[in-house]
Structure 1
Amino acid sequence: MSSDAPVGARPPAGKTFFGHPRALSTLFLTEMWERFSFYGMRAILVLYLTAAVADGGLDLGESSANAVYGTYNAMVYLMALPGGWVADRLIGARRSVLWGGVVIAAGHYVMAIPTGWSVFAGMALIVLGTGLLKPNISTMVGDLYERDSPRRDAGFSIFYMGINLGAFIAPLITGFLGERINWHLGFGAAAVGMTFGVLQYVLGRRNLGDAGARPADPLLGADRRRALTRIGVATVILLAVLLVLLVAGWFTVDTVVNLLTVVTVLVTVGYFARILTDREISGTERSRMKAYVWLFLFAASFWLIYDQAGSVLNIFAADRTDRSLGGFTFPASWLQSVNPILIIIGAPLAAALWLKLGHRVSTPTKFAVGLVLNGLSFVLMAAAAQAAVGGDLVSPLWLVAVYAIQVAGELSLSPVGLSATTKLAPVKYASQMLGLWFLATAVGDAIGGQVARLADTWSQPVYFLTFGLASVVLGLAAVMFTRQIRHLMAGIH
């Protein structure tokens, strides 16, 4: 999942898109529509799961709904690892993105079917499709440029805007349709969005040149047959486990969620163990990986809180927020659009700030700032929850302020973490390290989904204050150990 162009990739010539290769417009729009479908569905998922059957929902308890949401997010990021492998070794990034988009669209169409089972079947398809599309479309953006092209970072910045544009628009459409008309109509709107993405990707593929056309390191002959056999065996084993759970009566939402949480953590531990015990990496590389373990834990802790925006905070928006505006009560899910618009505004400012500060602020310190800000957002959320005790509705500006603080924290940690991942990566694992970075989100979301169960049993002020202060304390502890972590980073800032 490296964004470096593989040897032999040639950036396509011809018309340009804001001074960049024309193919960037194709990938920009594909990613925009994919994020439209992802964030559009995510904005109403927990609200649908917890809505009463009479209101068209599943009437799932908040505890289970929050866990399902967290686990779903975790699986999306976890599948980026095998998705990157499939592209690198079997079919190439271009076909991976195409088939990923098709499977994602199919998943949303399944969710649009007005039955109880459709939401879980649809989510499973979306997870598989996103694993194929998400990491590999970024690789293709990198393929459009020479390795040392000065336009490369600018190209990724434009691409990043597509992500947040789709995330901003989606809740406004799916939220209105889902909350005001029919939940499955909202899911259907996400399906239509992904369909647009697939169609324009197919129509624009002539602009892509060699980008993603071939696997970077293809498996051939016996190796390919062996790999496909292993995939087939693993699939059969997975289906057998699911069948056993079904026959034994253990195939429940909570059982599957708990099992997937354990799998996510075990995969992460195994991945780190494999790298740290590899005798082919140098002592300096091993030291840097030990530093990366700490950064990984900080990042996972960050996402544990941050990604509750679509679950615990979304339910708070629906139940505890006064959403009346000039006689119109806007859907709770509309508040999910606050985050991406703040990122669009704040990303250039954050980039300029880090450029000005240079090496005076180290990577561990930036992570610490992200953790502290994330924690403070939940401390503020505790005050909002306290104001809502007794059934009073609070201003939505509370949530806007919370999201603003969280975005500031994200811009301190997320882009910095991506950069640190590429710099700290052992040479042997350079192409796999971005997948490991995605695992930080997966672990945070998986554990966060379990933690969010407590929001249904603890008082909300206590819940938010407890985890907010925990994040602040962790951030302060990160500051205290900055020198030791920088020493392990062995010259990397």
Structure 2
Amino acid sequence: MFFGLLQYIRGGKKHLPSSSLYPSDPLEPSDAKKLSIQIGLGIVIFGLVLLLMQVMGSLSLTSFISLLSLIAIATPIVYFIIIISSKKISDTERSRVIAYIPLFIAAAIFWAIEEQGSVVLALFAENQTNNNLFGVFNIPAGWYQSLNPLFIMLYTPFFAWLWIKLGKKQPSSPSKFSLGLGIAGLSYLFMAVPVMLFGSSVKISPLWLLGSWAIVEVAELLISPIGLSVTTKLAPKAFESQMMSMWFLADSAGQAVNSQIVKYYTPDNEVNYFMIVGLVAIVAGVILIFLVKPIKRLMEGVN
């Protein structure tokens, strides 16, 4: 990140389009003041809600997380309504934003699975994985978290070559999303297999975790970079920066869902947990396949 910033300062920004350098719809001083007031009111209201929960005796870590989850899910819904109903966008731009909504939902479902690597799979690595390597070294459970960036670095050159090689013949963005969801679901079905074979009381080979991460990172490269690209292409001119924020709200919404469903994960119901979460992602991917054509029509020429 530091070297990226240094390269940008030393002249890299000259290669970027003007939309990356200047706001397409800058705030007027009066609008900035109004926005500051709205943000301030939002903070005050949030504080009052917490105070009310404390007075009622319902404030706890669990209820606080639930409140944040509700906000994380409600925020993109409200902002989609604001963008779609805005008079600043054309009919074509409005159609593209509507096309973006199912992709946003798909991304949220994916992140709800992918981000469980630092929760569910981390617990699995700690408690149910044989981390002894050749009887001479114990693999720290935290090391498994390095598998995410490791596989990303290994896969990225191949995917970069593949999309260039396919050119205009490559699948559309919605098709990549549907495939990514299905593969993400498979990574969890994969984790159900060793528990069904050996039970939850037997520590399994770390190769199972390695395999699960290897699968889900394929899905990430079908969704994350594609999502960044399609967000910029579908963004209305008046909401270019805000739409990029919306993309990261998909991760936020996924984390919100994640924070609620991980409560049902226990060693006793691991098979059901992995199977249900995995199948939900696969079903969502199948549904998205049937929506590819209408989404492409709404995208108005964007692939």
- Give me the TM-score of the superposition, normalised by structure 1: 0.56
How much has 1:344 moved relative to structure 2?
Answer: 1.1
What residue in structure 1 maps to residue 74 of structure 2? 266
Q: Deviations over 1:369-423 (max 9, x none)?
A: 1111101101101112224415111011100110011111100111011100000
How much has 1:225 moved relative to structure 2?
Answer: 4.7
SS for the counterpart of 2:263 is helix
Relative distance call for 1:477 and 1:308 in structure 2 (3 A) is same
Match of 1:345 among 154, 165, 175: 154
What residue in structure 1 maps to residue 188 of structure 2? 378
How much has 1:141 moved relative to structure 2?
Answer: 7.4
Q: Deviations over 1:395-453 (max 9, x none)?
A: 11100110011111100111011100000111111121110000111111101221111
CA contact (8 A) 2:200 2:267 kept: no
Relative distance call for 1:146 and 1:258 in structure 2 (3 A) is same
How much has 1:322 moved relative to structure 2?
Answer: 0.2
What letter matches 2:72 in structure 1?
A: T
What letter matches 1:422 in structure 2?
A: T
Match of 1:442 among 220, 237, 252: 252
Instruction: Write out aligned runs for 1:29-108 (5 A).
Output: none
What letter matches 1:252 in structure 2?
A: S
Is 1:145–2:13 an aligned residue pair? yes
What letter matches 1:318 in structure 2?
A: E
What residue in structure 2 maps to residue 204 of structure 1? none
Instruction: Write out aligned runs for 1:49-448 (5 A).
Output: 144-148=12-16, 217=26, 220=29, 224-325=32-133, 326-360=135-169, 361-448=171-258
CA contact (8 A) 1:387 1:394 kept: no
Q: Could you tell me how far apart the structure 2 residues matched to 1:230 and 1:268 are? A: 17
Relative distance call for 1:317 and 1:343 in structure 2 (3 A) is same
What residue in structure 2 maps to residue 486 of structure 1? 296
List runs of 5+ in structure 1 lacking aligned partners.
1-22, 30-139, 150-210
Relative distance call for 1:329 and 1:482 in structure 2 (3 A) is same
CA contact (8 A) 1:302 1:371 kept: yes
Is 1:27–2:18 an aligned residue pair? no
What residue in structure 2 maps to residue 55 of structure 1? none
Relative distance call for 1:241 and 1:476 in structure 2 (3 A) is closer
SS for the counterpart of 1:432 is helix
CA contact (8 A) 1:24 1:141 kept: no
* Deviant stretches of 4+, over 3 Å: 140-144, 216-220, 222-234
Relative distance call for 1:486 and 1:385 in structure 2 (3 A) is same
Q: Could you tell me how far apart the structure 2 residues matched to 1:429 and 1:218 are? A: 12
Identity across aligned pairs (percent)?
36
Relative distance call for 1:144 and 1:424 in structure 2 (3 A) is same
Relative distance call for 1:225 and 1:294 in structure 2 (3 A) is closer
How much has 1:330 moved relative to structure 2?
Answer: 2.0
How much has 1:258 moved relative to structure 2?
Answer: 0.9
SS for the counterpart of 1:250 is coil
How much has 1:458 moved relative to structure 2?
Answer: 6.2
Relative distance call for 1:352 and 1:236 in structure 2 (3 A) is same
CA contact (8 A) 1:378 1:465 kept: yes
- Give me the TM-score of the superposition, normalised by structure 2: 0.89
What letter matches 2:263 in structure 1?
A: R
Q: Deviations over 1:150-173 (max 9, x none)?
A: xxxxxxxxxxxxxxxxxxxxxxxx
In the alignment of these two chains, the number of paired residues is: 297
List runs of 5+ in structure 2 lacking aligned partners.
none
CA contact (8 A) 1:339 1:403 kept: yes
Q: Deviations over 1:443-471 (max 9, x none)?
A: 11101221111213861011101221221
CA contact (8 A) 2:234 2:302 kept: yes
Relative distance call for 1:482 and 1:346 in structure 2 (3 A) is same
CA contact (8 A) 2:200 2:268 kept: no
